[in-house]
Chain A
Amino acid sequence: MEDKAKEYWTRNLRYLAILLSIWFLVSFGFGILLVDQLDAIQIGGFRLGFWFAQQGSQFVFVILIFVYVRLMNNLDKEFGFDEV
Chain B
Amino acid sequence: MDIQTWTFIIVGASFALYIGIAFWARAGSTTDFYIAGSAVHPLANGMATAADWMSAASFISMAGLIAFLGRDGAVYLMGWTGGYVLLALLLAPYLRKFGKFTVPDFVGDRYYSRTARLVAILCAVFVSFTYVAGQMRGAGIVFSRFLDVGIHEGVIIGMIIVFFYAVLGGMKGITYTQVAQYCVLIFAYMVPAIYISFMMTNNPVPQIGFGSMLSDGSGVSLLDKLDGLTTELGFAAYTSGTKSTIDVFFITAALMVGTAGLPHVIVRFFTVPKVKDARISAGYACIFIVLLYSTAPAVAAFARANLIETVDQVEYNEVPEWFTNWESTGLLVFDDKSGDGRINYLADPDANELEIDPDIMVLANPEIANLPNWVIGLVAAGALAAALSTAAGLLLVISTSVAHDLVKRTMLPDMTDKGELNIARIAIAFTILIAGYFGVNPPGFVAQTVAFAFGLAAASFFPAIMLGIFYKRMNKEGAIAGMVSGILFTACYIIYFTYINPEISNPDYWWFGISPEGIGTLGMLINFAVAIVVSRYTAPPPQEIQDLVESIRIPRALVEKVKSD
Contacts and interface: CB of A to CB of B under 8 A. Distances in A.
Interface in B237-272: 239-241, 245, 248-249, 252-253, 256
A59 B223 CA distance: 20
Interface in B51-94: 66, 71, 73-74, 77-78, 81-82, 84-85, 88-90, 93
Given A16-B90, A54-B297, A59-B290, A45 B283 contact: no
B287 interface: yes
A1 interface: yes
Interface in B206-246: 207, 210-213, 221-224, 239-241, 245
Interface string B340-358: 0000000000000000000
B404 interface: no
A58 B85 contact: no
Contact of B211 (A9, A28, A51): A51
Interface stretch (B273-281, B437-445, B476-484): B273-281
B315 interface: no
B507 to A, nearest CB: 17
Given A27-B82, A83-B275, A83-B276, A62 B297 contact: no
Interface stretch (B16-24, B172-180, B551-559): B551-559
A3 to B, nearest CB: 13
B223 A61 contact: no
A46 B211 contact: yes
A44 B224 CA distance: 11
Given A33-B249, A45-B222, A73 B290 contact: no
Contacts, number: 136
A68 to B, nearest CB: 6
B462 interface: no
B361 interface: no
How many B residues touch the partner, as a band? 35 or more
A61 B84 contact: yes
Nearest to A66: B283
A59 B222 CA distance: 21
A5 B274 CA distance: 19
B88 A65 contact: yes
A65 B287 CA distance: 10
Given A44-B211, A46-B223, A61 B82 contact: yes
Nearest to A72: B279
Ranked 4 nearest A-B pairs via Cβ: A45-B221, A53-B74, A45-B211, A46-B211
18 contacts: A5-B554, A16-B89, A19-B89, A20-B89, A28-B252, A31-B74, A32-B74, A50-B71, A53-B78, A58-B293, A61-B84, A61-B286, A61-B290, A65-B88, A65-B279, A69-B88, A69-B279, A83-B275
Given A23-B82, A27-B78, A57-B77, 18 more contacts: A27-B82, A45-B210, A45-B222, A46-B211, A50-B239, A53-B78, A54-B73, A54-B77, A58-B77, A58-B290, A61-B82, A62-B283, A62-B286, A62-B290, A65-B279, A65-B283, A68-B283, A81-B554
Interface of B: 66, 71, 73-74, 77-78, 81-82, 84-85, 88-90, 93, 207, 210-213, 221-224, 239-241, 245, 248-249, 252-253, 256, 274-276, 279-280, 282-283, 286-287, 290, 293-294, 297, 550, 553-556, 558
